[in-house]
Structure 1
Amino acid sequence: MSSFYLSKPYQPPLAPKNLPISEPWALFGGINPKRFMKDYWQKKPLLVRGAIPAFSLASQNGDPPLVSPISYEELVELSGYDDVESRLIQSQPWRFQHGPFQKKVVPSLKKSDWTLLLQGMETHHPAAANILSWFRFIPDARLDDLMISIAGIGGGVGPHFDSYDVFLIQMSGRRQWRISQQKDLNLNPKLPLKILQNFNCEQEWILEPGDMLYLPPHIAHDGIALDAGCQTWSVGFRSPSFKELLQEGLWRLAESLEDAPELEEKFTDPKQAATENAEQLPKELIKQLSSQIQKLKLHQIDAFLPGVAAYLSEPKQQAFFDSPIKPLNPNAFLKNLAQRQLRPSPQTRILSLGKKVFCNGEEVSKNQTAMIIAAWNTLSANKYLQISSLRKVQESSLYEAYLAGWLIFDIQTKR
C-alpha cells in the first residue's frame, strides 16, 4: 500500500496579522523572535527540534503521520511550468539541469542520488505562502522566497555555503545536515556546481519532519536525504551588495529627474572669462551643477531611498500577471471591496518607505488621494484590504493594479 494512504498532509496555518514577537515560539525552541534576532540572526546557527509541533503531536496521539502539504507528483508537475524556476541536480557524477522539465525527466522516488529544487513556491501554493507568513518579523525587503527541495535517498547539492540567511524546515522524510564554520570557502573548479573544495564537518544532526535548522550567511553545510521523497523547505533572504543597491537607486534617481521641468533650463555662463586652460572642465559649470544638486537634495539619502524601495519591490523575473477575464467596473470594484478582501497576487511584491508605497517596482502612492494612499498602506502592512469608505477608484493606482492582475479578490466573501 502506498505511504500516501498511511499519512496525512500537514496544513500550515496562516500567521496572524500582528505577530506576537515578544511571546515564546515553538518555531524557535521556546524563545521569542525578538531574542532570536538579537542572539542568533547573522550570528550563529540554531537547531530546533519540533519547530512545527503538529508533526510530533500527531505521532503522540496515534494519528496518521504528517507529511508535506505538497506531494512528489505535484512538485514534478510544477517543475514543468515555464513560470516556475526549477533545477535538477544529480550526483555520481555531479550533473545540473535547468527546468522546465517533462515528467519523464524527473527521477522516480525509487531512484537515489537526485534532488529537484523549486524556487518561489510561495507564489504557487498556499501552504508555502502560509509558512512564509510566519517570518514577517523580518522586514519584507529582506525576504527572498521559499524553495522546496525534494530528493531520492542520497540526494543533495553537495557541501556549499550561502551568502544569505536560511531557515531549513524538514517537511517529509529525514535529512542529515553537516555544518562547519570554516574560513576556507574555496570552490571546486572542476565541478558544475558551487561545491566546496575542502569541507570539514564540525557538527552534524539528522532532522526529522517538523525540525528546523537556521544558518547565518557563509556557514558551510551539506544536506543528504536519508529517505525517498525527503522534502526540505528553505526560507531564504535577499542579500544585495551595496554596489547593486547604489546602482539601482542611482538609475531610478536619474529617471526621477524627468519630473523636474526646471532642469530643462540651459546652462549659461555670461561671466566666463578667457582661459589659458581650455581643456579643463569650467569652474562655472561645476559651480552651477553643485547648486542644482543642492536644490534637488540629490546628496541626501531621502532622495535616494525611493529608488532603492522601487528596486526591492520588483517581482521576480519569472513573475506573470493575469488580468481579470471579466474586470469589474469601478462601481462594482467598490462594492466588492466592501464585502471581500483584496490581496496582492502571489507574484506581487509591496514595500513601504514611510507613507510611500511601492508595488512591483512602481511608486503606487504617488499623486494619489489621501484615501487611496491609506488603502495602499493597509495593503502593504496587512497584505489585504477590505474597506467600505472609499468613494472613487476610477483612474486610481489601486484600480489600475487590479486591472493589471497585481491585486486580486479572495474567492470567499468576508464580512
Structure 2
Amino acid sequence: MTSFYLSNPYQPPQAPQNLPLNEPWALFGGISPDLFMKQYWHKKPLLVRGAIPAFALAAQSDESLDSPISGDELVKFACQDNVESRLVKAGPWSLSSGPFAKKSIPSFDKSHWTLLLQGMEAHHPAAAKILSWFRFIPDARLDDLMISIAGVGGGVGPHFDSYDVFLIQMSGRRQWQISKQKDLSLNPNLPLKILQRFKAEHEWVLEPGDMLYLPPHIAHDGVALDTGCQTWSVGFRSPSFKELLQEGLWRIAESLENIPELEQKFTDPMQRATASAEQLPEELIKQIEVKLRQLKLDQVEHFLPGITAYLSEPKQQAYFDGPSKPLSVGQFSKNLGLKKLIPHAQTRILSLGNEVFCNGENMNQGQTKDITKAWQSLSAEKVLSPRKIQGVARSSLYEAYIAGWLIFES
C-alpha cells in the first residue's frame, strides 16, 4: 500500500487566562516561565527543541504539520495597504517596502529572498494566539509578532537586535549562527543593518516546532534551508529613558491646561532695582519653584500616567473602522449581557494600578464603577464576559465601541 503524508496547518491554542508560572512548559524545554525569567531573560540565549510538541507528535503519526498561515496567504498580506511588509534580497543586498504587487514577490522556488511581515497578530488569529503564550511578560514590553518567509538561502544577513526576541520555526528549516561578540559595528555601504564582521560561536538547524530565544545585542544570522521557510518572531519593545520621559513630560504639559490657577500672570511687586538686568530675575525663579512644588513634578507618580498612555498607543500603521451599523446605546447595553466584548486586534490596553489606558487614552476619567471594572477586565483578561453594566450612555466603553477599538466577539 502506498504511504502518504497529510499536511495540516497547525492550530495554535489560546493560552489560559491564568498562566501556570511555576510549572514546567514544553515551550521552554521543561522549565517554568518563572525559571526562564530568572535564568535566561535579558541574560543568555536558550535553544528549545520541540518547543511546540504538536509538530513532533504529528511526525510520529506520519503526518506533516504545516504553518498556521500558508505561504500564499502571506504573499496576499504583503500586497495589502494595512500590513507593514519588507522584501530583502541577497546578492547584492536590497531592501524594499510594501505594499507589493504580487508579481514583484519572487516565487517560492527562487533563492536568496526574504519577505518580512510585521504586526501579524493584528491580521491573523493564529498569530494573536501565539502572542497569548507570552503574557507572563508585561504587555508594556510586547512589540509584535513578525513573520518571515523565505526561499532557500534567504535571510537578512548577520545582525543584532536591541530587544529580546523569540524565534519560532513554523515551516521548513533555518540555520542559525549566533555570537556574543562585542564588535557590533555595521557595514555602512549596505541598505540593511548588517554587521561588518561576524564570527559565529554556535550553530544550529531549527526544525518546525523548535524555538530560539535571544536577549538583546546577541549577533545572529539565520539562513533558510528549505523552500517557503517560515520563522515567527515575537519581539519586545525597549524604549529609551529619553523617549519615556519626553512622552511623560509632554502629557504633563498638556494636563496644565486643566489647572485654572496657572493662568495667573507672573507679578513681582517685591522686585528691586538691579545692576544685572541681563540675568533671569530671582523673583521669577522663586515663584516657579513654588509652582513646581505645588504640582509635585519631582514625584514619579505624576509621570507614570503619561508614560502608560504612551505605551498603550497602537502601532502607527493601525487603522480602526467603526461599525458600519453601530448599535444604539440600548442595543449595546443589551449586547453586553449576551456577548463577549473584546479589543480590536490592533487595540492596546495597559493598566496603571486601577487606571486603564486604551490606545493612548485614560478610560477611567469620569466613569462609573461598573465602567471602570469593565475596563479593568478588558485590560487584565483581554475580554469582557457577558454582564449587565450600568451607565453605558456616553461612557468610554460605548465610545470605544463606536471608534472600533472594541468589538463584540462573533
TM over 0.5, shorter chain: yes
After TM superposition, the structure 1 = structure 2 runs for residues 170-249 of structure 1, keeping only pairs within 5 Å, are: 170-249=169-248
1:263 aligns with 2:262: yes
Q: Distance in 1 between matches of 2:287 and 2:110?
A: 70
Q: Distance in 1 between matches of 2:338 and 2:188?
A: 58
Q: Distance in 1 between matches of 2:357 and 2:187?
A: 41
Q: Distance in 2 between matches of 1:61 and 1:67?
A: 14
Secondary structure (helix, strand or coil) at the match of 1:108 reads coil
Q: Could you tell me whether the CA contact under 8 Å between 2:156 and 2:221 is conserved in 1?
A: yes
Q: CA deviation at 1:5?
A: 8.1
Q: Distance in 2 between matches of 1:291 and 1:387?
A: 50
1:15 aligns with 2:20: no
Q: Could you tell me whether the CA contact under 8 Å between 1:334 and 1:388 is conserved in 2?
A: no
1:129 aligns with 2:117: no
Q: Could you tell me whether the CA contact under 8 Å between 2:370 and 2:391 is conserved in 1?
A: no
Q: CA deviation at 1:143?
A: 0.1
Which amino acid letter does the alignment assign opposite residue 367 of structure 2?
Q
Counterpart position of 2:75: 76
Counterpart position of 1:61: 61
Counterpart position of 2:153: 154
Counterpart position of 1:355: 354
1:48 aligns with 2:48: yes
Which amino acid letter does the alignment assign opposite residue 23 of structure 2?
E
Q: Distance in 2 between matches of 1:371 and 1:388?
A: 10
Q: 1:5 to 1:331 in 2, by over 3 A?
A: farther
1:166 aligns with 2:160: no
Q: Distance in 1 between matches of 2:242 and 2:399?
A: 33
Secondary structure (helix, strand or coil) at the match of 1:258 reads helix
Counterpart position of 1:106: 105
Give the root-mean-square deviation of aligned CA atoms. Answer: 1.1
Counterpart position of 1:283: 282
Q: Distance in 1 between matches of 2:156 and 2:127?
A: 22
After TM superposition, the structure 1 = structure 2 runs for residues 300-311 of structure 1, keeping only pairs within 5 Å, are: 300-311=299-310
Secondary structure (helix, strand or coil) at the match of 1:65 reads strand
Per-residue CA deviations over 1:78-136 (Å, capped at 9, x if unaligned) read: 00111110000000111110000011111111100000000000000000000000000
Per-residue CA deviations over 1:328-356 (Å, capped at 9, x if unaligned) read: 11111111111111011001000111111
Secondary structure (helix, strand or coil) at the match of 2:337 reads helix
1:390 aligns with 2:389: yes
Q: Distance in 2 between matches of 1:168 and 1:402?
A: 35
Q: CA deviation at 1:387?
A: 3.9
Counterpart position of 1:38: 38
Secondary structure (helix, strand or coil) at the match of 1:235 reads strand
Q: Which runs of 5+ in 1 are unaligned?
A: none
Q: CA deviation at 1:10?
A: 0.1
Moved over 6 A (4+): none
Per-residue CA deviations over 1:125-157 (Å, capped at 9, x if unaligned) read: 000000000000000000000000000000000
Q: Could you tell me whether the CA contact under 8 Å between 2:179 and 2:219 is conserved in 1?
A: yes
Q: Which runs of 5+ in 2 are unaligned?
A: none
TM-score normalized by the length of structure 2: 0.98
Counterpart position of 2:88: 89
TM-score normalized by the length of structure 1: 0.97
Per-residue CA deviations over 1:34-59 (Å, capped at 9, x if unaligned) read: 00000000000000000000000011
Q: Distance in 1 between matches of 2:29 and 2:261?
A: 58
Alignment coverage as a number of residue pairs: 407
Deviates more, 1:246-255 or 1:123-132: 246-255
Q: Distance in 2 between matches of 1:335 and 1:5?
A: 49
Per-residue CA deviations over 1:305-330 (Å, capped at 9, x if unaligned) read: 11111111111111000100111111
